[in-house]
Amino acid sequence: MWYHVAKPSEFLVITGRGIDELKIAKKAMVWPFQKCEKIDVTPVNYTFEVNAMSKEKLSFLLPAVFTIGPRANDHSSLVKYARLLSLHQRDSHDVKELVQGIIEGETRVLAASMSMEDVFKGTKDFKREVFEKVQLELNQFGLLIYNANIKQLVDVRGHEYFSYLGQKTQMEAANRAKVEVAEAKMKGDVGFKQREGLTIQNAAKIDVETKVITAQRKGKGKMEEIKVGSEVKIFENQQEAEVSEANAKLATKKAAWSQQAKMAEVVAEKAVAIREAELQQEVERKNALTKTENFKAQFLSRANVEYEIKVQEANSEYYQKQTAADAILYEKQKLAEARRIEADAGTYAEKQAADAALYAKKKEAEGLVAFAEAQGIYIRTLLSALGGNYIALRDFLMINERIYTDIAKYNAEAIRGLQPKITIWSTGASEGDMTDGTRAGKGNGVMKEMASLYSVIPPLLQTVYEQTSMLPPPWLDTCSTSLTTSTESA
């Protein structure tokens, strides 16, 4: 068994044991005695010309480009499409003929029920009905028309109906235009001065409004720049404060641990000192018992005084250390709080900068989309002006971009880089170039032509040697020399 996963534009079709008919999935486990195939649901373009005939038996061509593919979001359509591909390959000629046959059949049936005038005047309705009827037939194969582009109707050779109809329309438009030109000239002379005055007034008004709007936008831009700068500074301060706060917490814990250790050391040290004092007191008391009452009282008083002094010194040292530790802790807490505020400010500034960068990227993407749309309008306008002639459009774009000039320049540079060797020789004076100004006879002219023919051979051999470094056979060289000598003597 194997685990199969389909690509984004593919589906798995599984058949075999445990499956009634077939199973469509994006990923599945294929068990023994099961078969898995992948089908591609990417739409395919079909381009062709339909030769149809109207109700009056007038033929015309319908160029069309259909983008057709399966319904990827409909399970039943995918099942139908999988059945179709089980009999034919996706890019096979049979599938193309099937789609083309459906489109041509529905188009011919619809055109046969309409007059040529209806087809010509209602082109949009005609295209919509063709689209609907073809889609209805494609549903049984699970196919969907994603896009259909039916171009302008074209005359069949020998049936120039659209051409004549266009000429008729042009003549009627020209006649109407002559009448309208006369009326427009009359109205134009009167309205020229009015329009000229209104133009000057509107131009002055627009200039004033433009200056006001420009000043307002400059002020708003300056305000936004100051606001963003402040927010960036606050964010940086907040981020730095958070870092300081973390460092302060660590320092606080370290100080607490150090304080506990030092206190334990002081307690242990003082406990030893107290114990030593107690033992010393006990020793002196025992000694005092063996002495007189005076010595006993004297030594006991001195021990008590020393004990009190040592206790006071220990308490003083402990208080000083505790006060110093509290001061250091308070200072670090304040520093951590300040750094936390600075860190928050830095974080906010980075967020504002990221938002600004995102906005700039969006505007840049919108600019690219607008440029692409403008390029598309430019190409469609040129193609419409050239009557839908793609070859003429290609030639115009290549001439406009100076591609032919660049090709000629590159070819010239390539030939110049080859550095060809060219040899030019002369075979002597022609028949009419006599030294005494007289023309040669008929026999002399034939000999001159033969002499010219034979005299070509030595320079030709010399040229071959200069350009290829190849010498002719000795017998050919001797023969050419003999022929040249014989010709000259003749």
- Would residue 254 count as lying in a domain? no
Range of the domain at 51: 41-159
Distance (Å, rounded) from C-alpha 470 to C-alpha 322?
110
- Would residue 225 count as lying in a domain? no
Distance (Å, rounded) from C-alpha 450 to C-alpha 486?
11
Residue 18: which of 5, 38, 33 has the closest Cα?
Answer: 33
Confidence of residue 145 (pLDDT cuts 50, 70, 90): confident
Evaluate if residue 490 carries a pLDDT over 60: no
Give the highest mean pLDDT range of 280-284, 325-329, 387-391: 387-391
Residue 60: which of 131, 130, 161 has the closest Cα?
Answer: 161
- Would residue 79 count as lying in a domain? yes
Distance (Å, rounded) from C-alpha 175 to C-alpha 178?
5
Determine which of 288-297, 349-358, 420-429 has the lowest per-residue pLDDT on average: 420-429
Confidence of residue 402 (pLDDT cuts 50, 70, 90): confident
Q: Which comes out higher in pLDDT, residue 137 or 148?
A: 137
- Would residue 174 count as lying in a domain? no
Evaluate if residue 147 carries a pLDDT over 80: yes
Evaluate if residue 432 carries a pLDDT over 50: no
How high is the pLDDT of residue 101?
Answer: 84
pLDDT, mean of residues 133-153: 81
Please tell me the total count of domains within the chain: 1
Confidence of residue 160 (pLDDT cuts 50, 70, 90): low
Residue/partner pairs of 353-360 with CB below 8 Å, 24 or more apart: 353/232, 356/228
- Model confidence over 270-297: pLDDT tens digits? 778 888 888 888 877 777 777 766 665 6
Q: Which residue type occupies 346?
A: G
Evaluate if residue 41 carries a pLDDT over 70: yes
Distance (Å, rounded) from C-alpha 155 to C-alpha 52?
10
Residues across the chain = 490
Distance (Å, rounded) from C-alpha 433 to C-alpha 440?
9
How high is the pLDDT of residue 418?
Answer: 65
Distance (Å, rounded) from C-alpha 448 to C-alpha 446?
5
Q: Which comes out higher in pLDDT, residue 421 or 121?
A: 121
**Residue 159 DSSP class:** B
Distance of CA 29 to the CA centre of its chain: 36
Determine which of 311-325, 348-362, 414-428 has the lowest per-residue pLDDT on average: 414-428
Q: Which residue type occupies 311?
A: V
| 447: enclosing H helix or E strand | helix 442-455
Q: Over pLDDT 70: what percentage of the chain?
A: 79
Contacts for 354 with CB less than 8 Å, ≥ 6 apart: none
- Model confidence over 236-263: pLDDT tens digits? 888 888 888 888 888 888 878 888 878 8
3-class DSSP assignment, residue 386: coil
CATH number at residue 84: 3.30.479.30
Q: Which comes out higher in pLDDT, residue 94 or 68?
A: 68
- Would residue 66 count as lying in a domain? yes
| CA angle centred on 334, ends 333 and 339, rounded to 5° | 95
- Would residue 127 count as lying in a domain? yes
**DSSP-derived pairing of the beta strands 143-150 and 59-70:** antiparallel
How high is the pLDDT of residue 486?
Answer: 53
Indicate the pTM of the whole model.
0.33
Q: Which comes out higher in pLDDT, residue 466 or 488?
A: 466
3-class DSSP assignment, residue 208: helix
Q: Over pLDDT 90: what percentage of the chain?
A: 0
Q: Which residue type occupies 441?
A: G
Confidence of residue 223 (pLDDT cuts 50, 70, 90): confident
Q: Which two tokens stand for residue 461?
A: 């051999």
How high is the pLDDT of residue 431?
Answer: 46
Q: Which two tokens stand for residue 318?
A: 């402990």
pLDDT, mean of residues 106-130: 74
Evaluate if residue 445 carries a pLDDT over 70: no
Distance (Å, rounded) from C-alpha 231 to C-alpha 262?
46
Q: Is 58 left (phi over 0), alpha (psi -120 to 50) or beta?
A: beta
pLDDT, mean of residues 197-206: 82
CA distances from 295 to 290, 291, 303, 309 (A): 10, 6, 12, 22
Residue 46 CB neighbours (<10 A): 17
Evaluate if residue 193 carries a pLDDT over 60: yes
CA distances from 404 to 105, 397, 412, 416 (A): 44, 10, 12, 18
- Model confidence over 63-93: pLDDT tens digits? 778 888 888 888 888 888 888 777 655 555 6
Residue 169: which of 117, 128, 245 has the closest Cα?
Answer: 117
Q: Indicate the burial class of 98 (C-beta count within 10 angstroms; 0-12, 13-18, 19 or more).
A: middle
Q: Which two tokens stand for residue 12?
A: 């798995």
How high is the pLDDT of residue 166?
Answer: 63
How high is the pLDDT of residue 443?
Answer: 47
How high is the pLDDT of residue 234?
Answer: 85
Evaluate if residue 208 carries a pLDDT over 60: yes
Tokens 């395919």 found at: 44
Q: Name the average pLDDT for the chain.
A: 76
- Would residue 486 count as lying in a domain? no
Q: Which comes out higher in pLDDT, residue 305 or 446?
A: 305
- Would residue 445 count as lying in a domain? no
